[in-house]
Amino acid sequence: MRFYKIQPKEIPGNAISLFDDGWGLLTAGTPENYNTMTISWGQMGCLWNRPVCTVYVRPCRYTYTFTEACDRFTVSLFEPGEQRSELKMLGTQSGREMDKMHHSGLTPMMLDGLMAYEEAKVVLVLRKLYDQQFDPARVPAEVANSNYATVADDDLHRQYICLIESVYSRD
Protein backbone atom coordinates (compact mmCIF):
# COMPACT_ATOMS: atom_id res chain seq x y z
CA MET A 1 0.00 0.00 0.00
CA ARG A 2 1.14 3.46 -0.76
CA PHE A 3 0.84 6.35 1.68
CA TYR A 4 0.75 9.94 0.53
CA LYS A 5 1.04 13.10 2.57
CA ILE A 6 -2.07 15.23 3.09
CA GLN A 7 -2.91 18.32 5.11
CA PRO A 8 -4.58 17.91 8.54
CA LYS A 9 -7.80 19.50 7.19
CA GLU A 10 -7.94 16.75 4.53
CA ILE A 11 -8.08 13.81 6.97
CA PRO A 12 -10.75 11.48 5.59
CA GLY A 13 -13.69 10.46 7.76
CA ASN A 14 -15.12 11.66 11.01
CA ALA A 15 -12.64 12.10 13.89
CA ILE A 16 -15.05 10.62 16.44
CA SER A 17 -15.63 7.57 14.26
CA LEU A 18 -11.91 7.15 13.50
CA PHE A 19 -11.17 6.78 17.22
CA ASP A 20 -14.37 5.22 18.55
CA ASP A 21 -15.26 2.85 15.70
CA GLY A 22 -11.95 2.33 13.92
CA TRP A 23 -9.52 2.48 16.83
CA GLY A 24 -5.89 3.43 16.57
CA LEU A 25 -2.40 2.41 17.54
CA LEU A 26 -0.24 4.84 19.46
CA THR A 27 3.39 3.96 18.74
CA ALA A 28 6.29 5.62 20.56
CA GLY A 29 10.01 5.03 20.76
CA THR A 30 12.81 4.57 18.28
CA PRO A 31 12.79 2.20 15.31
CA GLU A 32 15.10 -0.05 17.35
CA ASN A 33 13.05 0.12 20.58
CA TYR A 34 9.38 1.05 20.43
CA ASN A 35 6.03 -0.05 21.78
CA THR A 36 2.46 0.15 20.54
CA MET A 37 -0.87 0.27 22.31
CA THR A 38 -4.46 0.32 21.06
CA ILE A 39 -6.39 3.52 21.70
CA SER A 40 -10.00 4.47 21.15
CA TRP A 41 -10.00 7.76 23.04
CA GLY A 42 -8.80 10.81 21.16
CA GLN A 43 -9.75 14.09 19.59
CA MET A 44 -8.60 16.19 16.66
CA GLY A 45 -9.15 19.87 16.15
CA CYS A 46 -7.56 23.28 16.41
CA LEU A 47 -5.87 24.65 19.53
CA TRP A 48 -3.50 27.59 19.83
CA ASN A 49 -4.05 28.19 16.10
CA ARG A 50 -2.53 24.80 15.28
CA PRO A 51 -3.90 21.43 14.16
CA VAL A 52 -3.80 19.12 17.18
CA CYS A 53 -4.62 15.60 18.26
CA THR A 54 -5.17 14.70 21.91
CA VAL A 55 -4.58 11.16 23.15
CA TYR A 56 -4.63 9.51 26.58
CA VAL A 57 -2.34 6.94 28.19
CA ARG A 58 -2.50 5.42 31.67
CA PRO A 59 0.79 5.29 33.62
CA CYS A 60 0.48 1.51 34.12
CA ARG A 61 0.76 0.93 30.37
CA TYR A 62 4.18 -0.04 29.05
CA THR A 63 3.78 2.48 26.20
CA TYR A 64 3.55 5.25 28.82
CA THR A 65 7.30 4.96 29.43
CA PHE A 66 7.89 5.53 25.71
CA THR A 67 5.47 8.47 25.40
CA GLU A 68 7.08 10.14 28.40
CA ALA A 69 10.58 9.69 26.95
CA CYS A 70 9.75 10.86 23.41
CA ASP A 71 8.70 14.24 22.09
CA ARG A 72 7.19 12.66 18.94
CA PHE A 73 5.12 9.56 18.22
CA THR A 74 2.54 8.27 15.74
CA VAL A 75 -1.13 7.37 15.84
CA SER A 76 -2.16 4.88 13.15
CA LEU A 77 -5.94 5.05 12.63
CA PHE A 78 -7.92 2.17 11.11
CA GLU A 79 -11.18 1.75 9.21
CA PRO A 80 -14.07 0.61 11.43
CA GLY A 81 -13.93 -3.17 11.78
CA GLU A 82 -10.57 -3.58 10.02
CA GLN A 83 -7.83 -5.55 11.81
CA ARG A 84 -10.05 -5.83 14.89
CA SER A 85 -8.43 -9.02 16.24
CA GLU A 86 -4.94 -7.58 15.75
CA LEU A 87 -5.92 -4.33 17.46
CA LYS A 88 -7.50 -6.23 20.35
CA MET A 89 -4.32 -8.27 20.80
CA LEU A 90 -2.18 -5.14 20.80
CA GLY A 91 -4.50 -3.63 23.42
CA THR A 92 -4.56 -6.61 25.76
CA GLN A 93 -0.98 -7.95 25.60
CA SER A 94 1.93 -6.10 27.14
CA GLY A 95 5.13 -5.31 25.29
CA ARG A 96 6.89 -5.97 28.60
CA GLU A 97 6.29 -9.71 28.18
CA MET A 98 6.46 -10.20 24.41
CA ASP A 99 7.30 -8.56 21.10
CA LYS A 100 3.62 -8.01 20.45
CA MET A 101 4.17 -5.66 17.51
CA HIS A 102 5.72 -8.47 15.45
CA HIS A 103 3.26 -11.11 16.69
CA SER A 104 0.21 -9.00 15.85
CA GLY A 105 0.21 -9.77 12.13
CA LEU A 106 0.39 -6.06 11.29
CA THR A 107 3.26 -4.63 9.28
CA PRO A 108 5.48 -2.05 11.02
CA MET A 109 6.85 0.72 8.80
CA MET A 110 8.70 3.98 9.24
CA LEU A 111 7.30 7.44 8.46
CA ASP A 112 9.22 10.61 9.28
CA GLY A 113 11.67 8.53 11.33
CA LEU A 114 8.91 7.03 13.53
CA MET A 115 7.18 3.67 13.54
CA ALA A 116 3.62 3.21 12.26
CA TYR A 117 1.57 0.45 10.54
CA GLU A 118 0.98 -0.21 6.84
CA GLU A 119 -2.59 -1.41 7.35
CA ALA A 120 -3.74 1.93 8.81
CA LYS A 121 -6.11 4.20 6.93
CA VAL A 122 -4.41 7.34 8.26
CA VAL A 123 -1.17 7.91 10.16
CA LEU A 124 -0.67 11.02 12.26
CA VAL A 125 2.86 12.10 13.12
CA LEU A 126 2.53 13.97 16.40
CA ARG A 127 4.73 16.18 18.56
CA LYS A 128 3.83 16.79 22.20
CA LEU A 129 2.85 20.35 23.02
CA TYR A 130 1.33 19.85 26.47
CA ASP A 131 0.60 16.98 28.82
CA GLN A 132 -1.12 16.67 32.15
CA GLN A 133 -2.23 13.90 34.48
CA PHE A 134 -5.97 13.71 35.14
CA ASP A 135 -6.85 15.08 38.57
CA PRO A 136 -9.14 12.54 40.33
CA ALA A 137 -10.87 15.36 42.22
CA ARG A 138 -11.96 16.93 38.92
CA VAL A 139 -13.23 13.80 37.14
CA PRO A 140 -17.07 13.78 37.27
CA ALA A 141 -18.47 11.03 39.53
CA GLU A 142 -20.39 9.30 36.71
CA VAL A 143 -17.20 9.18 34.60
CA ALA A 144 -15.08 7.98 37.52
CA ASN A 145 -17.62 5.27 38.40
CA SER A 146 -17.78 3.91 34.85
CA ASN A 147 -14.11 4.29 33.87
CA TYR A 148 -11.98 4.35 37.02
CA ALA A 149 -13.86 2.38 39.69
CA THR A 150 -10.98 -0.08 40.18
CA VAL A 151 -8.13 2.27 39.18
CA ALA A 152 -5.76 3.92 41.66
CA ASP A 153 -5.80 7.74 41.63
CA ASP A 154 -2.20 7.84 40.37
CA ASP A 155 -3.10 5.63 37.38
CA LEU A 156 -5.71 7.86 35.78
CA HIS A 157 -4.94 8.79 32.17
CA ARG A 158 -2.31 11.32 31.18
CA GLN A 159 -3.52 13.65 28.45
CA TYR A 160 -1.16 14.50 25.60
CA ILE A 161 -2.10 17.45 23.40
CA CYS A 162 0.03 17.11 20.28
CA LEU A 163 0.75 19.15 17.20
CA ILE A 164 -0.14 17.24 14.05
CA GLU A 165 3.19 17.55 12.22
CA SER A 166 2.30 15.31 9.27
CA VAL A 167 -0.64 13.26 8.06
CA TYR A 168 -0.37 10.26 5.74
CA SER A 169 -3.32 8.55 4.04
CA ARG A 170 -3.22 5.34 2.03
CA ASP A 171 -4.64 4.48 -1.36
Q: How far is CA 152 from CA 8, 36, 39, 144, in A?
A: 36, 23, 20, 11
Q: What is the pLDDT of residues 87-108, one digit of tens each?
A: 877 787 777 776 766 768 899 9
Q: What is the pTM of this model?
A: 0.94
Q: What is the CATH number of the domain that holds 152?
A: 2.30.110.10
Q: Alpha-carbon Rg of the chain, whole angstroms?
A: 15
Query: Which domain does 41 fall in, by range?
Result: 3-170
Q: What is the pLDDT of residues 109-150, one digit of tens each?
A: 999 999 999 999 999 999 999 999 999 999 999 999 999 999
How many domains does the chain divide into?
1
Q: What is the pLDDT of residues 21-48, one digit of tens each?
A: 999 999 999 999 999 999 999 999 999 9
